[in-house]
Structure 1
Amino acid sequence: MTKDLSRLFRPKSIAVVGGGAWCRAVIEQCQKMGFNGAIYPVYPKAAKICGIRAYSGLNQLLEAPDACFVGVNRQATIDVVGTLAKLGAGGAVCFASGFAEAKAEDEAAGGLQSLLLEAAGDMPILGPNCYGFINALDGALLWPDQHGCTTVKSGVAILTQSSNMAINLTMQNRGLPIAYMVTAGNQAQTTQAEMAAALIDDPRVTAIGMHIEGFGDLRAWEMLADKAYAAGKPIVAIKVGQSEQARAATISHTASLAGEDAGAAAFLKRLGIPRLHSLPAFLETLKLLHITGPLPSNRLASISCSGGEASLAADTAIGRSVVFPELNERQKHDLRDALGPMVALANPLDYHTYIWRDGPAMTRAWAAMMDPSVALTLLIVDFPRSDICDAGDWECAIEAALGAKELTGANVAMVATLPELMPEEVAKRLISGGVVPISGLAEAIIAAEAAGSFKSPTSTPVFLESGPDLVCLVSEMDTKRKLSTFGLDTPKGTHVDDKSKLKTAADTLNFPLVLKGEGIAHKTEAGLVALNLKDADQVSEAGINMPCDSFLLEEMISDSVAELLIGVTRDPAHGFVLTLGAGGTLTELLDDSQSLLLPTDENSIKEALTGLKVTNLLNGYRGKAAANLPAILHAVQAVQAYVLANGSHVEEIEINPLICTPTRAVAADALLREAP
């Protein structure tokens, strides 16, 4: 990511090439934002546009523009971009569509995008098929439509592949200062990761929010995450889109357990980028990060004048990685001093309305709730509708919030339980005093969870290896043989290629035994598994009833504490996805799994195991023996080691079940698909 985007994003001169309507639209937006640099309309059919001299061609300009909006058709876009590159322009926004995104309908579209890249050379371009960007810090923008941004001194940067979503996000009335709004379009040349990396360099940018449809170059994202973490500028993301390729042609349970989105989720976690799932939560998290930066922990305090709101705050946090710790002695003493003996002290706290309108008392009470051990204090206040009510009686709450913030210096948010009951003018006033205005109680909890979850990116790059053109199913016995050489514990067993030899083979092993017919992946459903066979006659009888001629006969593992699944699938978009889940008959029943990307370390594997519903079984449930955790970790590492050593031809591995006993972790069943 060495591309220099500084001239493009922070231009001192702008050119606009296109029809009169497009030229006028972009220039009007620049004038509205107060851009004080040079503007060059390029439109041969007019002498002036918006009072500014128009030029008939780019070669007539007085200088090479720092940034240019190219608003002509797709064929003409290629010529204009080529001319800009020769002039030494700083970069261009390619507005036209009909390039690679239209390949399904137009065979020429992909070739046109290649010609566009060739014309651009080393000159940065955004798009094609994008609206451009808004720089609200300098009032500089290449944007052909209405927007809701106003000039700010600092703020967050938002990047999205959707121009329509970008317009909508600028229209938010939540008080969030947006420094940059950038659309990526096709990302034919400049990727989202490169754009975000360039915006990190602007000291006025406090945090970055990204709407992502696909990652593309994973190495660029790893570099971005490292750069953002080093700069102390947090990134949050909404990731949409699902990859069907990761599930295509799979025959195991692993793909369905992992889901189409598992690789993306695991990659974001690996980057240390919290993931949001709604635009309101996305905006409120960015607002919190803009004011407080990442929170030091997930410990929250909440204070409201209603028991209903206090209970709602506690209930909203259920299932989220946030806690409301008990009040300490200092908090209790100061709260009692501020509130008197009539209030039952707790966290979340209902302070009643005894002190409402008493600004100094409210300030003392709210400051008392704030404590160095708490990452964020939530002051729950809903403002009345200004069109039919008088909000004057709420002035005391604003002053108390600002006063408590000034008194303590703590992280504090004023939260409206209903998003529409946080007026924008109040939000801006609170932000100016360092108080976070949050629209929506659910959004407040989600934002606090995200802001308290930042960690450094994983230092080891994701394992990437191009896959084979042809794969086949390896026999279970050969699969176990291959994996056992990397340390996987497997049952003692033997291969039998004739039903008449089953009795003889059985006598060489210790009963009870398991008999499996070969040649089909899902053996249980096909009636090709017989368990707990206690003598040679039972083995022979079970084999006669199976519709196959070759078998795997193994000693049965009988002292199971729990059963797990270990699976690895190749994801074309994200590398290799490692899935850990409940195994055996519980696989589909519980839908209980965690996913990681390879390579991973022991601590991450332990964390994933802890996140499973069956973790209580592994730890010894109701006095029963616990599973051997080191043996489980060794089994997972053995599967990983095989993939890392054979990544160019492995497509899929599944161990299901891994039988976990107090002493062992044994691969009772194993599946492998790889190149012949």
Structure 2
Amino acid sequence: MTLDRLLSPKTIAIIGGGAWCVSVAEQARKMGFAGAIYAVHPKQKPLAGLPSYASIADLPEPPDACFIGVNRHATLNVVAELRAVGAGGAICFASGFSESDQEDGSGSDLQTQLVAAAGDMPILGPNCYGMINYLDRAVLWPDQHGGAGVDSGVAIVMQSSNMAINVTMQQRGLPIAAIVCAGNQAQTGMAEIGAHLLADPRVTALGLHIEGFNDIRAYESLAQDAARLGKPIVALKVGKSDQAKAATVSHTASVAGNDAGASALLKRLNMARVDSLPTFLETLKLLHFAGPLASTKIASISCSGGEASLAADTAFGTPVNFPPLSDSQKTNLRNALGPMVALANPLDYHTYIWRDTEAMATAWAAMMEPHLALTLLVVDFPRADRCSDADWDCAIDAAGLAKSRSGSVVAMVTTLPENLSETIAARLIAKGVVPMLGLREAVEAVAAAASFTAPASTPVLMPTPTAPAQTVNEADAKAALHGYGLRIPISAQAAAPSQAADLASAIGFPVVLKGEGIAHKSEAGAVVLNLASPQAVADAAQAMPTERFLVEEMVTGAVAELLVGVVKDPAHGFVLTLGAGGTLTELLGDTASLLIPSPRDQIETALGTLKISALLRGYRNGPAAHMPAILDAIEAVQNYVLANAQGLEEVEVNPLICTPTDAIAADALLRRQ
């Protein structure tokens, strides 16, 4: 199945007669679509001045792309007829399919029938607005849009039609090559659409607005295509606040959840995730004009100390940083600015040289050195409806000169998004300077543009069907994981306090006593540590709300405690969560998530992002944990999951006690069907 004819049509057919269909015809003409536009209506009503054919069979040729503007039931027949005549594809505008299941249970059945009717003819939707190809001036769009034809640009695929309309209205200087709505993705998914768009040499980057992943394998294929083509992908993935994620008996599920899986998947796919629509557009713009950035090391230049401080604070807590000035930067800046300016990065160059274009260009170029990925020139322009911006021409010209002399990546950024017009953006672009709207958005765009590495070469372990699960007792859970190499303490199970005391003597003191069959043992008072005598063991057992016990050797010499957990996420696969363990798990919220399988080096990198990693490395001259043993333990858990995925819902080791010589699972949980 190819999308060539549907997304780059030479002929268009519009089926239906309502206001939406009229708008499709009008927008196609307005864009200057050069091909034939056919209208189809059973009563042959003219459509926006076009004569109508009574049926699809009457059309003079099979149309390349069709907009179906009839109700959901009639859409099924229209799709079947288009397929029969050899049409190139169709946009199914009607709603009332799977997205309406909560109100109308027949929606999914109708969607299944729609896919069957389409066969190998590609369709977008249903519940889909359409597409705009600004490269070929081809439009099937039932509303106004704010874009214009371009020779190259970024492609955007969105699940939300209304958000797609809003994106076409952007005034940020972002050249959009194409925007496509995916709707319900009944047949053709966002990944397939994105792969087709990326293959066009005129498309420089791809933006995806994702509500949910419908086909992980298709996204993995898209990621490989993007890597082969050297074209970056930016994702605006919604769902961080989803309250529907299932609660389970473990800590792992509460700290992993669906969004952790989504983040881990996007990172694995080498897609830069952003959290807002403005940052989404600014990142795509930066990538279009500059490509992926080599690092997050940048410089900021402004004529105000307030702006310099704001730039520094905006980047605080992000991967973006302002490295100290090099000796050559200091020398060149001092020669350009004289002794009255305090040299730093971010730089406040004062206003001494304002209006002196040559002096501004010299000073700005002095800051631009090869070790920087980007230089931000902070300039807010006056509003054109009430003020004159003529006095700011020097900044535009100086930016262009500094760019040409240094060969660096240069962006002019405003502190307020509205303080740079589309007209000024065009002037900056003509000089090779990237116009960026909003300091916060610019910093976030830099972080995203510098985050690309390479997609994972190993496919994600796909989630298995979900069914009711049972919690395996701790001793059996540990034994199962021990079979894959996880180190566990010496232990024994007891059915009475007296037996627990006898087993403790055999193991050797001190010991740990745990009550079995209790979730969240610490909260229930079912864990007692450092018991040093048989009587202490018997007394502790007597006080617990259970009659079954686990007696274990007491692991000493802990440097840190870790959480190692795996939760099956039905949308993304098996999520491996690493974090601060023991009682700190929920208190600190210090976690990192990966998808299984993940290689050892990425697991080690993820551990290094944790706050608790300082303890693992040896905090304040304390002993360091044995990192090979920790990695062995995590890989043992991963190997168990890989070998036992069918029926597995969850695994948790918490805490994994990390010592200078070992890593031992003090507690373990398994939930299986």
Q: Same fold (TM over 0.5)?
A: yes
Aligned partner letter, 2:107: A
* Matched residue SS, 2:53: coil
Residue in structure 2 matched with residue 308 of structure 1 by the alignment: 306
Aligned partner letter, 2:11: S
Q: 1:524 and 1:341 mapped to 2: Cα distance? A: 64
Alignment of 1:341-360 (within 5 A): 341-360=339-358
What is the Cα deviation at residue 633 of structure 1? 0.7
Residue in structure 1 matched with residue 239 of structure 2 by the alignment: 241
Q: 1:673 and 1:244 mapped to 2: Cα distance? A: 23
Residue in structure 2 matched with residue 153 of structure 1 by the alignment: 151
Asked whether the 8 Å contact 2:463–2:569 carries over to 1, the reply is no
Alignment of 1:564-643 (within 5 A): 564-643=562-641
CA displacement, residues 78-107 of structure 1 (integer Å, 9 cap, x when unaligned): 111111111111110000011111122222
Q: 1:247 and 1:68 mapped to 2: Cα distance? A: 39
What is the Cα deviation at residue 333 of structure 1? 2.7
Q: 2:199 and 2:666 mapped to 1: Cα distance? A: 53
Residue in structure 2 matched with residue 131 of structure 1 by the alignment: 129
Compared CA separation, residues 600 and 618, structure 1 to 2 (3 A): same
Residue in structure 2 matched with residue 79 of structure 1 by the alignment: 77
Alignment of 1:48-127 (within 5 A): 48-127=46-125
Stretch moving more, 99-108 or 474-483: 99-108
- After TM superposition, the runs of 4+ consecutive aligned structure 1 residues lying more than 6 A away are 243-246
Stretch moving more, 140-149 or 245-254: 245-254
Tell me which of 227, 232, 235 is aligned to 2:230.
232
CA displacement, residues 339-389 of structure 1 (integer Å, 9 cap, x when unaligned): 222222221111111111111111111112111111111011000111221
Residue in structure 1 matched with residue 403 of structure 2 by the alignment: 405
Alignment of 1:137-286 (within 5 A): 137-241=135-239, 247-248=245-246, 250-286=248-284
Residue in structure 2 matched with residue 326 of structure 1 by the alignment: 324
Aligned partner letter, 2:323: P
Residue in structure 2 matched with residue 449 of structure 1 by the alignment: 447
Asked whether the 8 Å contact 1:8–1:91 carries over to 2, the reply is yes
Q: 2:102 and 2:308 mapped to 1: Cα distance? A: 54
* Matched residue SS, 1:90: coil
Residue in structure 1 matched with residue 645 of structure 2 by the alignment: 647
What is the Cα deviation at residue 152 of structure 1? 1.1
Gaps of 5+ in 2: none
Tell me which of 482, 491, 494 is aligned to 1:493.
491
Asked whether the 8 Å contact 1:127–1:186 carries over to 2, the reply is yes
CA displacement, residues 515-565 of structure 1 (integer Å, 9 cap, x when unaligned): 111111222222221211111111111112222222110111121111111
Alignment of 1:444-593 (within 5 A): 444-467=442-465, 469-593=467-591
Q: Does residue 1:419 correspond to 2:414, yes or no?
A: no
Residue in structure 2 matched with residue 21 of structure 1 by the alignment: 19
Residue in structure 2 matched with residue 43 of structure 1 by the alignment: 41
Asked whether the 8 Å contact 1:468–1:648 carries over to 2, the reply is no
Q: 1:23 and 1:634 mapped to 2: Cα distance? A: 62
Stretch moving more, 415-424 or 20-29: 20-29
What is the Cα deviation at residue 433 of structure 1? 2.4
Q: 2:93 and 2:399 mapped to 1: Cα distance? A: 45
What is the Cα deviation at residue 43 of structure 1? 2.3
Gaps of 5+ in 1: none
Q: 1:407 and 1:134 mapped to 2: Cα distance? A: 38
Asked whether the 8 Å contact 2:257–2:569 carries over to 1, the reply is no
* Matched residue SS, 1:421: coil
Aligned partner letter, 1:215: F
Q: 2:402 and 2:530 mapped to 1: Cα distance? A: 69
Compared CA separation, residues 47 and 658, structure 1 to 2 (3 A): closer
Q: 2:194 and 2:206 mapped to 1: Cα distance? A: 7
What is the Cα deviation at residue 673 of structure 1? 1.0
What is the Cα deviation at residue 245 of structure 1? 10
Aligned partner letter, 1:622: R
Q: 2:45 and 2:549 mapped to 1: Cα distance? A: 86
Q: 2:562 and 2:328 mapped to 1: Cα distance? A: 47
Give the superposed CA RMSD. Answer: 1.5
Q: 2:75 and 2:130 mapped to 1: Cα distance? A: 14
* Matched residue SS, 1:425: helix
CA displacement, residues 446-475 of structure 1 (integer Å, 9 cap, x when unaligned): 111111111110111101142463421111
What is the Cα deviation at residue 600 of structure 1? 0.6
Q: 2:424 and 2:372 mapped to 1: Cα distance? A: 25
What is the Cα deviation at residue 242 of structure 1? 5.8
Q: 1:344 and 1:465 mapped to 2: Cα distance? A: 58
What is the Cα deviation at residue 53 of structure 1? 2.7
Aligned partner letter, 1:479: A
Aligned partner letter, 2:409: N
What is the Cα deviation at residue 19 of structure 1? 1.2
What is the Cα deviation at residue 503 of structure 1? 2.6
What is the Cα deviation at residue 24 of structure 1? 1.6
Compared CA separation, residues 249 and 446, structure 1 to 2 (3 A): closer
Q: How many residues align?
A: 673
Asked whether the 8 Å contact 1:462–1:597 carries over to 2, the reply is yes
* Matched residue SS, 1:130: coil
What is the Cα deviation at residue 337 of structure 1? 2.5
Asked whether the 8 Å contact 1:496–1:502 carries over to 2, the reply is yes
Compared CA separation, residues 468 and 81, structure 1 to 2 (3 A): closer
Residue in structure 2 matched with residue 375 of structure 1 by the alignment: 373
Tell me which of 368, 389, 392 is aligned to 1:391.
389
